[in-house]
Copies of this chain bind each other. A is one copy, B any other.
Amino acid sequence: MGVPLGADPPRHDISTVDDVLVLVRESGGRVTISRRLLLEAIFDDPGHHSAEDLAAIVQAKAPDVHLSTIYRNLEELERLGVVVHSHLGHGPATYHLAASAHCHFVCEHCGAAVKAPDELFVNLAARAQKEFGFTIDPHHFSIFGRCRNCQ
C-alpha cells in the first residue's frame, strides 16, 4: 500500500508495541510471541530492515520462529497500516514503521541510500496529479542515480 504524500494519519495513534497489539486484537488477530518480538525489533530500531534481518533479531530470542512467519506478520502489519515496505533498489525489500516512511535516493554504483525529504517531491506530486490524475507514492520505490562520490 504505502502512504501517499498527505495521506490521513491513522485513527489511533500508534507509538508503542502495545498500541499495535491492541490494534491487532481489534482486527480479530491474536497476540503471539513472534508478533510481539517482531514489533519490538521494528520499534527498537526504526531504520530499514529486510525480512531476513528481522528474522535474525527475533530468532535471537525465539530461535524457531520461521522466516515465513516473519513475512506473514509483516504482511499483516502492512494491512493494518503499521509498517510499510519499500524497495531500495535490487535486493530484498526493507520494512519500517509507516510513521517514519520517507523517500530515498539510491546510488546505482555504490548502493548508498540517502534520505530525501518529502518536500522535494511536492512539485512533482502536484504536477503528476494535475496533468495525469496520478497520485504519486514516492516512498515505495526509491529514485535511482549516482551519489556525490560516484559520479
Residues of A within 8 A of B (CB): 1-2, 4, 87, 89, 105, 107-108, 114, 116, 120-121, 123-124, 127-128, 131-138, 140-148, 151
Q: Which residues of B contact A107 (CB under 8 A)?
A: 134
Q: In the complex, A128 Cα to B138 Cα: how many Å?
A: 14
Considering the chains assembled together, what is the distance between the CA atoms of A142 and B140 in angstroms? 10
Smallest CB gap from A131: residue in B: B120
* Total copies of the chain: 2
Contact between B151 and A145 (Cβ–Cβ < 8 Å)? no
Given known contacts A132-B148, A144-B2, A148-B132, A108 and B137 CB-to-CB distance under 8 angstroms: yes
Which residues of chain B are near A146, meaning CB under 8 Å?
4, 134-135, 137
User: A134 to B142, alpha carbons, bound, how many Å?
Assistant: 13
| A142 proximity list for chain B (CB < 8 A) | 141
Picked from B131, B136, B144, B147, the residue with its CB within 8 Å of the CB of A145 is: B136
Q: Which residues of B contact A144 (CB under 8 A)?
A: 2, 136-138, 140-141
Cα distance A137–B89 when bound, in Å? 12
Closest to A132 in B: B114
B120 A124 Cβ-Cβ under 8 A = yes
Q: Are B140 and A4 closer than 8 Å at their CB atoms?
A: no
